[in-house]
């Protein structure tokens, strides 16, 4: 690799915003927030909306969608001038 052209690749803690689960990995992302980890080091903290701890595919929980309401709203909106 050429020196000086690649971003800094360092340890970062990611926190799931909905569950509070945290995991330590490596990334090039930076953050002003920090967190003290169990190994005694302080790492940048990045809060994300969805991780495998909260995503329905990984948790097995299904979310109910109001598809009937969406279809009816679509029909009302776009069929008014065609009747």
Rounded distance between C-alpha atoms, residue 80 and residue 74, angstroms: 10
Question: Residue 43 class from Cβ within 10 Å (0-12 exposed, 13-18 middle, 19+ buried)?
Answer: buried
Structure tokens at 75: 């029909």
pLDDT band at 75 (very low <50, low <70, confident <90, very high): confident
Q: How many CA atoms are closer than 13 Å to the CA of 43, on its beta-carbon side?
A: 23
Picking from 60, 57, 46, the residue whose alpha carbon sits closest to that of residue 16 is 46
Q: pTM for this one?
A: 0.64
Q: What is the pLDDT of residues 19-71, one digit of tens each?
A: 889 999 999 999 999 999 999 999 999 998 888 777 666 566 666 556 667 77
Domains in the chain: boundaries? 10-82
Residue 51's pLDDT is 81
């Amino acid at each position: 690799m050429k020196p000086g052209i690649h971003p800094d690749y360092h340890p970062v803690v990611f926190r799931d915003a909905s569950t509070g689960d945290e995991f330590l990995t490596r990334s090039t992302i930076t953050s002003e927030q920090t967190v003290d980890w169990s190994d005694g080091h302080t790492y940048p903290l990045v809060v994300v909306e969805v991780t495998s701890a909260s995503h329905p595919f990984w948790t097995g929980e299904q979310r109910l969608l109001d598809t009937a309401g969406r279809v009816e709203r679509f029909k009302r909106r776009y069929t008014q001038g065609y009747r």
